[in-house]
Amino acid sequence: MAPALVGLSHSPLIGKNDPDADTLARIEAAVAGARAFVAEFDPELVVLYAPDHYNGFFYKEMPPFCLATEATAVGDFGSQAGPLSVDTEAAKALAKGVLDRGVDLTVSARMTVDHGFVQPLEVLFDGIDRVPVVPVFVNGVATPLCPVSRIRALGTAVGEAAAELDKRVLFLASGGLSHDPPVPTLDGAPPRVADALIEGHPPTPQQRAKGEERVVQAGRDYAAGSTTMIPINPTWDNLVLDTFESGALADVDDWSVEWMGAEGGGSSHEVRTWVAAYASLAATGPYSMASRFYEAVPEWIAGFAVTTATPR
Ligand SMILES: O=C(O)CCc1cccc(O)c1O
Ligand SMILES: [Fe+2]
């Protein structure tokens, strides 16, 4: 088994509320680097860790994480809709391997996913059906959240199980770093919102359009210096990236939900996907970060990072 890793922030506002041309060019160069890295590695399997934004997972039952043996994308924010090319056999093997290692994994035989899963597949592979993938949902918004140590344990178990496959496996993380987009919260929600977050009634096209316009407007406000959202925190984001680069992954066990939220905003917990991916790579042996890019992009409501890593 040969592993590699890409960590990639996502934002549904890419192409909808872009930063200035120079910033955009720097980001595009970093993303092109990740695409070249992936093309060169030519993965036979992608283990994709991504969050959900109340399109697939709801409070009726909210697992801390969940592995899919089949998955369909909803097509939010203009992202691709339809089935992902899930490698069901590999997914089942990984699920068994994770459970055998004592991590209480939830499995979905029909996962609904959103831009969190779709965007990295579009950006790196030009579509959601181009490469065999095992989607792994990591809850990054719906409190209460499990300790980060459990996400590290998940990633480690997935990495150990993946090492038993005779494949080139790319561990791919989607999301983060610090950002505070207007994602609804169950605590204090009015009854109609609470009902939507619990039951997950699919929104009408009008409701979806209205919600998406709200997020685009929030990006404009964030870039204009709105103080109603927790600002992007480059210092914290670089501390997070330093941790991944150093390989001292056990440090994340001390990252409390409260500390992360205060430093990085309500969606900073999306970096749990990165914790899982780096733990997976680390479980296969010592690694080096091969490239590291970071830019605070308020227009996208994103502390935007791109990293690649390979075995040492
Ligand atoms: O779909 C939503 O409600 C949130 C959308 C969203 C906005 C900015 C950055 C993100 O990472 C993100 O996911
Ligand atoms: Fe997100």
pLDDT digit string (tens) for 99-158? 999 999 999 999 999 999 999 999 999 999 999 999 999 999 999 999 999 999 999 999
The residue whose CB lies within 8 Å of the most ligand 1 atoms, and thus the one to mutate among 177, 267, 268, 273, is 267
Q: Which residues contact ligand 1 via a Cβ below 6 A?
A: 10-13, 53, 175, 179, 181, 183, 215, 267, 301-302
Q: Are 46 and 277 in contact (CB under 8 A)?
A: no
Atom of ligand 1 nearest to the CA of 183: 3
Q: How far is the CA of 302 from the centre of ligand 2 (A)?
A: 9
Atom of ligand 1 nearest to the CA of 267: 11
The count of domains in the chain is: 1
Q: Is the entire prediction scored with pTM above 0.90?
A: yes
Nearest CA to 185 among 175, 174, 196, 177?
196
Where does the chain show beta strands of DSSP type E?
Answer: 2-8, 45-50, 65-68, 71-74, 81-83, 106-108, 111-113, 133-138, 168-174, 287-297, 302-311
Q: What is the pLDDT of residue 226?
A: 80
- Read off the pLDDT band of 203 (50, 70, 90): very high
Q: What is the Cα–Cα distance from 307 to 42, expressed in whole angstroms?
A: 17
Whether the predicted interface score ipTM is above 0.95: yes
Ligand in nearest proximity to the CA of 298: 1
Nearest CA to ligand 1 atom 5: 12
Report the Cα–Cα distance between both ends of the chain, in Å, rounded: 14
Q: Domain range spanning residue 271?
A: 2-311
Q: What is the CATH number of the domain that holds 152?
A: 3.40.830.10
Taking the CB of residue 197, how many other CB atoms lie within 10 A of it? 19
Q: What is the pLDDT of residue 265?
A: 96
Catalytic annotation, residues: 115, 179
Atom of ligand 1 nearest to the CA of 179: 9
To the nearest 10°, report the CA torsion of 39, 68, 213, 177.
-60
- Read off the pLDDT band of 54 (50, 70, 90): very high
Residues 6+ apart with CB under 8 A from 113: 50, 52, 55, 56, 68, 71, 72, 73, 74, 84, 135, 137
Distances (CA, A) of 40 to 6, 46, 151, 293: 13, 14, 29, 19
Q: What is the Cα–Cα distance from 126 to 6, expressed in whole angstroms?
A: 16
Instruction: Compute the average pLDDT of residues 269-273.
Output: 98
